[in-house]
Amino acid sequence: MQHLGYCSNILSSFNRKSMSLRPFHVAFPVTDLAATRNFYETLLGCSIGRTSDRWIDFNFFGHQITAHLAPSATGTPTNPVDGKNVPVQHWGVILEMNEWQILADRLTQQGIEFIIKPYTRFKGEVGEQATMFFLDPSGNALEFKAFAQDEAIFAR
């Protein structure tokens, strides 16, 4: 695969946009959702976004972190989200929608093997977002996403 220069192009774009930082997204495995919620919400003061019986979104100082229940983390644990097996441990960047589309098109043209192909979830709802998952060369799961409205990143 040829060097695409996408991250450096985004960095140049970032510098031109008066240094406005985009929120990051990180997901991580936990063994107890109640204890995790108590720690992040009560101790650290993080507000809660969307939740399920398997995961919780937190507003971590303006960034989105997601705790996924994975009581026995062997191999690559996944949780079902929208009928897809989402890797519990993954990280990525929340891009602007047009930047996300450019990246999705570029990765598709380069023949990247997606874990979850680019698609839009929560279509027409609060929290509508485009997302895609793929692995880096070391097998780390990456998610790149973009929200229809940034104000909905932490919406319930």
The pTM of the full predicted model, rounded to 2 decimals, is 0.67
Query: Which architecture, in CATH terms, is 6-12+21-152?
Result: Roll (3.10)
Query: What's the pLDDT tens digit per position in 47-71?
Result: 999 999 999 999 987 899 899 988 7
pLDDT attached to residue 74 = 60
Query: What's the pLDDT tens digit per position in 28-53?
Result: 888 889 999 998 898 778 899 999 99
pLDDT attached to residue 73 = 55
Query: What residue segments make up the domains of the chain, in order of their start?
Result: 6-12+21-152
Rounded to whole angstroms, the Cα distance separating 105 from 119 reads 12
Parts of the chain with a pLDDT under 70: 1-19, 73-75, 138
**83 bridge partner residues:** none
DSSP assignments along the chain, one per residue = -----HHHHHHHHHHHTTTPPPPEEEEEEES-HHHHHIIIIIIS-PEEEEE-SSEEEEEETTEEEEEEE-TT--SS-EEEETTEEEESSEEEEEE-HHHHHHHHHHHHHTT--EEEEEEEESTTSTT-EEEEEEE-TT--EEEEEEESSGGGTT--
